[in-house]
Amino acid sequence: MAPMASGEITNLLKAWSSGEPAALQRLAEQVYPELRLMARRYMKNERAGHTLQATALVHEVYLRLVDVTKVEWQERAQFFAMAAEMMRRILVSAARARGSQKRGGGRPNVNIDETAVLSPRPDRSILAVDEALTAFSRVAPRQAKVVELRYFGSLTEEEIVAVLDISSRTVRRDWDLARAWLLQELNR
Partner 1 sequence: MTPERFRRIEELYHAAREGTPEERVALLAPIDSELRREVELLLSKRAGGEFLDRPAIENAPELLADSTVTALAPGVFLGPYRVESKLGEGGMGEVFRAVDTRLGRAVAIKTTHEQFGERFEREGRAISSLNHPNICALYDVGPNYLVMELVEGETIAARLKSGPFPVKIALSYASQILAALVEAHGKGIVHRDLKPANIMIAKSGVKVLDFGLAKSGEDETLTASSMVMGTPAYMAPELREGKPADARSDIYSFGCVLHEMLIGIRPSSQRKRMPSRRLEKIVSRCLEADPGRRWQSAAELEQELARVTATNFWRLVSAVPAVLALCAVAALISVAIFAWLHHAASVQIHSLAILGLENRSGDASQDYFAGGLTNSLAAGLARLNGLRVIPPAATLTYRGMKKPLAEIGKELNADVLLDGTVLRAGNRLEIRTRLVNARGGRELWSHTYDSAAADLPGSQNQMERDIAAQVHASAPDRARMIDTRKLDPRAYDLYLRASYHMGRLTARDTDQAIGLYEQAIAIAPDFAPLQANLASAYAAKSFLFAADDRECEELAFAAIEKAFALDPDSAEAHLARGELLWRPSHGFPHRAALAEFRLAAAARPNLGAAWSQIAGVLIHVGHLDEALVELRKAEALNPTEAISSGRASEVYLFQGKAQLSLDELSRTPYIVNIPIMEFDHAWALIDLGRFEEAARFIGAGFKDSKAGAAELKHAVSALLAARQGNRRAAESEIRAALAEPQGLGQFHHATFMIACAYSVLGDMAHAQEWMEKTAANGFPCFTLFEVEPSLERWRATSQGHEFLVNLRREWVATP
Q: How far is the CB of 13 from partner 1 (least distance, A)?
A: 23
Judged by beta carbon, residue 13 or residue 31, the one nearer partner 1 is: 31
Q: How far is the CB of 71 from partner 1 (least distance, A)?
A: 24
Q: Which of 127, 93, 156, 138 is nearest to 146 (CA)?
A: 156
Contact 162, 76 (CB under 8 A): yes
- Each as own residue / partner, the long-range contacts of residues 35-44 (CB below 8 Å, 24 or more positions apart, any chain) are 35/61, 35/83, 35/86, 35/87, 35/90, 36/90, 39/87, 39/90, 39/91
Judged by beta carbon, residue 19 or residue 104, the one nearer partner 1 is: 104
Judged by beta carbon, residue 1 or residue 121, the one nearer partner 1 is: 121
Applying CB under 8 A, the residues found at the interface with partner 1 are 36, 39-40, 42-44, 46-47, 54-55, 57, 87-88, 90-91, 94-95, 98-99, 102-103, 105-112, 115-126, 129, 139-140, 143, 150-154, 173, 176-177, 179-184, 187
Q: Is 134 helix (H, G, I), strand (E, B) or coil?
A: helix
Judged by beta carbon, residue 16 or residue 62, the one nearer partner 1 is: 62
Q: How far is the CB of 179 from partner 1 (least distance, A)?
A: 6
Q: How far is the CB of 23 from partner 1 (least distance, A)?
A: 27
Contact 27, 12 (CB under 8 A): yes
CA angle 102, 40, 108 (to 5 degrees): 20
Q: How far is the CB of 21 from partner 1 (least distance, A)?
A: 26
Judged by beta carbon, residue 22 or residue 110, the one nearer partner 1 is: 110
Q: Is 80 helix (H, G, I), strand (E, B) or coil?
A: helix
